[in-house]
């Protein structure tokens, strides 16, 4: 796994991964380098909605965003917003992840979304998942995660409760058949 790069990949938590931050999670890897990795969990919705976030930030919504869910993106900087979105537009702090997906952290994207002028497809999360140098490679080597190429349909269109199984399905894996226990015969 030397020099493997997991940017623009899904990390699919194995059933045995019991960390409550990542139990049955799918994370989208936004950045991976020798310095570590950063990803956003895409299947743990919170009670918050985009409407409540905009209201909290003093942004008036003209577009119907009240019911758009906000996800728990991970345990790091859980008070900071990250918007994964289709990459047809750019804002002040937009980082291009792949040809199809970008991540933005600046207020101007929220203002555009409130005005109905935001990205075509998006997912809003508070916080992110971070891994130190070599940590993600170690966890993958320890079978904590499966990896596969990201799929925008799963990211933006699949219902949250189906994303974990759908991502694994891209690998031909049925997670319900895997036990959370390991053992020896």
All residue ranges of the chain with pLDDT < 70 are 1-3, 179-185
Distances from the Cα of 165 to the Cα of 158, 161, 162, angstroms:
11, 8, 6
- The pLDDT score that the predictor gives to residue 179 is 58
Q: Where are the domains of the chain?
A: 9-173
The count of other CB atoms within 10 Å of the CB of residue 102 is 23
* Predicted TM-score of the model (pTM): 0.92
Q: What is the pLDDT of residue 123?
A: 97
Which superfamily does 9-173 belong to? VC0467-like (3.40.1740.10)
């Amino acid at each position: 796994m030397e020099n493997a790069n997991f940017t623009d990949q899904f990390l699919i938590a194995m059933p045995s991964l019991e960390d409550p931050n990542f139990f049955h999670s799918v994370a989208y890897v936004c950045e991976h380098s020798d310095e570590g990795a950063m990803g956003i969990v895409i299947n743990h919705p919170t009670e918050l909605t985009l409407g409540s976030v905009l209201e909290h930030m003093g942004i008036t919504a003209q577009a119907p965003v009240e019911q758009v869910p906000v996800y728990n993106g991970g345990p790091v900087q859980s008070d900071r917003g990250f918007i994964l979105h289709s990459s047809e537009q750019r804002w002040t702090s937009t980082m291009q992840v792949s040809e199809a997906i970008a991540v933005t952290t600046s207020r101007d994207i929220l203002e555009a979304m409130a005005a109905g002028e935001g990205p075509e497809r998006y997912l809003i999360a508070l916080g992110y998942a971070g891994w130190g140098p070599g940590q993600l490679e170690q966890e993958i080597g320890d079978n904590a995660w499966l990896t596969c190429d990201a799929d925008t349909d799963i990211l933006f269109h699949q219902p949250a409760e189906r994303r974990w199984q759908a991502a694994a399905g891209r690998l031909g894996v049925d997670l319900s058949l895997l036990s959370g226990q390991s053992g020896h015969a």
